[in-house]
Chain A
Amino acid sequence: MGTIAAERPASQVTTHLRRRRVVGLGALVLILVAAGAVSLAVGARALSPGEVWHGLFAAPESDQRLTEIRLIVETVRVPRTVLAIVAGVALGVGGALIQGYTRNPIADTGLLGVNSGASFTVVTVIAVFGLTDPFQYIWFAFLGAAVAGVVVFGVASIGRGAGNPLTLALAGQGVTVFLAAMTTAIALSDQKSLNALRFWNAGSVAGVGFGVIWPVTGFIAAGLVLALITLPALNLLNLGDDVARGLGVNIALSRTIGITAITLLAGAATAACGPIAFLGLMVAHVARYLTGPDYRWLVPYAGLLGAVVLLVCDIVGRLVVRPSELDAGVVVALLGAPFFAALVWRGKFKNA
């Protein structure tokens, strides 16, 4: 910034700002692509770029080694890379939205009860129906997350002051508390569900096939569309309800769309990966620091940041305790939290 902003005409300033934001978005996309490439090559068995290329695009070979590589890339690394990107975008956008709609800088994607709802249904179906295969309970988890979100929003919308940010946050807490208690009660009385619960709680992007990833991506895409629709209204809502109403925002409608979007995004991501806490909260703050308070920019940044962070954490998790792995959800906290705390300490989030 060579010159002072005030010396320029306003239009030039906004052009300059917009250019900076677009460049930032481009940079994030490039980082994400690079991380995706690394993600295909790295794991228990390291592959060279050429081998990855073969695994992706080469015709079926008779060569034993190439077939093996192809198998690794196609059935393990491509799915987990795709899921990390999709779930990361969902949790990043969800985190930015939930902080916007509750006007609370410490709101996380689990606040609407999606995590506790998903966990509760998982332990319930395992304890009651004896399901053992994650593929069987993923859809139950999504159902539980969605129902919890609907209940929270429903409770917060009763009567006057419908869905006001504070009521929404507290209703979410109340429902979360109750469901978590029920989950613990079941898990303590049933060893099978306790066993499943501990793996579920770790939050991982591995071990899920495209049979699950495509439908989950569908739900997340729907959530993203809804999220993008409400961004202008969310900007106005953050000026206060009265101002927003005066500027012609249909508050109830935009809140309903926004909460639906959060439930779809966080619910689908949680169903596929298990609960990944802290990611949404963290990237929402970093995105706000990078873009300022305009949600039309903040939300895309948060989405891309979420994808980058989740993907990088998954890669790190594959490398640090080889030949076994650390779950991505665990790495997000272990790596992300110190970095985030340092930013907080340096006073980067003044306008949180």
Chain B
Amino acid sequence: MNRTDVKPSVAPGVRLGQVSFVWRPWIVSVSLLLAAATFLVFCLSIGVGDFPIGLPQVIATIFGRGEQVDEFVIMDLRMPRALAGVVVGIALGVSGALTQSIARNPLASPDVLGITNGAGTVAVFLVTVSGGTAAAIVNSVGLSAAALLGGLGTGLLVYFLAWRRGIDGLRLILIGISVSAVMEALTTWLLVTADIRDVAQAQAWLVGSLDDRSWDEVQVAVWGTLVLLVVVTTAAFQFKPMHLGDDIAAGLGVRHSAVRAVLLLCAVLLAGVAVSAAGPVPFVALVAPQVAMRLARCPTPPLVASALVGALLLTGSDLIARAALPVGLPVGVVTAAIGGPFLVYLLVRANRR
């Protein structure tokens, strides 16, 4: 920036029919780089395993020009897991960005909306209470589905408890923290009273994992994420002016309370989608928007960049967990071990400039 320049710098706009947006080369290039990196890691991740496949073959197979044998290994065995990583990352990144933007609080993540802890409580209950009913539930609908229902139920409970003539960011977060605290306390209590063998299984589920994902589990997450992203994208254009405050947004013709309610509901459902595919992976939703903000040099969490950072973080962690670590660790542990320090690094770097 030239300090003597007195003319206000106006970013050029782009208009496509009804849709217009500001052309910001830096964000666009950062997002493209993130997308390319995600795709690369995604392909590498597919190539890694007992039957290694080279990068060119992986890419060829994805575009339908591969060998028969590669096609089977990739499309039937490895694609679900890799795709789950991307989709869960996107869902968590967007969910976190929405929550933090609406609450205007960087500490707000979907984890405080109750979904993660609600799902965790139900799962731990089903794992540790070795009763006829619990076993029957697990056998009929499966652990993940039951946990997802618990999570969504908790999330919606928070949402409706916080609803009072509209949704207020701080009220929602404080009620979410309260409900999450109850769920967490129940989980703790269940773990304390349980048999230690069940505790290990429950604890492993609580961290989130992408192991042994099948097409069935991934399919729900893929379609759910796609549908929700469409809703979020259309609402996001209305959302932009809300950073200026409700009054200004209303003056610009934004129905702010309706937009906020829709976007928060999307955040709740996206977090639920992520749980359905990978369990309650912690921290991604909290860290990804903050990292994206600093990479894209935005004052508020950027949606696209947050989604891509989430996807890269999750697929990258999964690749590292499978290819580089001596012991098999669940992906949730690796995301936190990488995401936490990286956020700290970005903070330090920003401060030292």
Chain A residues with a Cβ under 8 A of chain B: 104-107, 111, 155-156, 158-162, 166-167, 169-171, 173-182, 184-185, 187-189, 191, 194-195, 198-199, 201-202, 277-278, 281, 285, 326-327, 329-334, 336-338, 340-341, 344-345, 347, 349, 352
Complex contact A341–B343 (CB within 8 A): no
Task: List 11 additional A-B contacts (Cβ < 8 Å) besides A173-B286, A329-B188, A332-B185.
Answer: A159-B353, A167-B347, A173-B106, A176-B340, A180-B282, A181-B333, A182-B337, A194-B199, A199-B192, A329-B185, A344-B171
Q: Which of A187, A278, A281, A333 has the most CB of B within 10 A?
A: A333
Residues of B within 8 A of A171 (CB): 344, 347
Residues of A within 8 A of B162 (CB): 345
Checking A107, A177, A285, A336 against B287 with a beta-carbon cut-off of 8 angstroms, the contacting residue is: A177
Chain B 134-175 per-residue mask, 1 if CB under 8 angstroms from chain A, else 0? 000000000000000000000000000110100000110111
**B36 at interface by CB-CB < 8 Å:** no
CA distance A330 to B186 in the complex (A): 7
Checking B178, B203, B207 against A338 with a beta-carbon cut-off of 8 angstroms, the contacting residue is: B178
Complex contact B207–A174 (CB within 8 A): no
Residues of A within 8 A of B15 (CB): none
Question: What does DSSP make chain A's interface, helix, strand, loop or mixed?
Answer: helix
CA distance A107 to B186 in the complex (A): 22
Complex contact B340–A337 (CB within 8 A): no
Residues of B within 8 A of A277 (CB): 181, 184
Complex contact A170–B347 (CB within 8 A): yes
Complex contact B177–A278 (CB within 8 A): yes
Complex contact B107–A169 (CB within 8 A): yes
Q: Which of B181, B184, B200, B343 has the most CB of A within 10 A?
A: B181
CA distance A180 to B184 in the complex (A): 15
**Contacts known (A106-B177, A174-B343, A330-B189); A159 close to B348, Cβ less than 8 A:** yes
Residues of A within 8 A of B290 (CB): 170
Residues of B within 8 A of A194 (CB): 196, 199-200, 203
Complex contact B181–A198 (CB within 8 A): no
Complex contact A344–B196 (CB within 8 A): no
Of all chain A residues, the one with the shortest Cβ separation from B345 is: A174
Checking A179, A181, A329, A341 against B161 with a beta-carbon cut-off of 8 angstroms, the contacting residue is: A341
**B341 at interface by CB-CB < 8 Å:** yes
Checking A169, A180, A344 against B106 with a beta-carbon cut-off of 8 angstroms, the contacting residue is: A169
Of all chain A residues, the one with the shortest Cβ separation from B190 is: A198
Residues of A within 8 A of B185 (CB): 329-334, 337
Complex contact A155–B348 (CB within 8 A): yes
Checking B177, B188, B199 against A202 with a beta-carbon cut-off of 8 angstroms, the contacting residue is: B188
CA distance A109 to B29 in the complex (A): 39
Residues of A within 8 A of B204 (CB): 188
B58 shortest CB reach to chain A, Å:
29
Of all chain A residues, the one with the shortest Cβ separation from B330 is: A188
Complex contact B203–A178 (CB within 8 A): no
CA distance A345 to B176 in the complex (A): 11
Checking B105, B200, B330, B347 against A156 with a beta-carbon cut-off of 8 angstroms, the contacting residue is: B347
What are 16 A-B contacts defined by CB distance under 8 Å? A158-B352, A173-B340, A173-B343, A174-B342, A177-B336, A180-B283, A181-B332, A184-B203, A184-B332, A198-B188, A202-B192, A327-B189, A332-B185, A334-B186, A345-B162, A352-B174
Residues of B within 8 A of A201 (CB): 188, 191
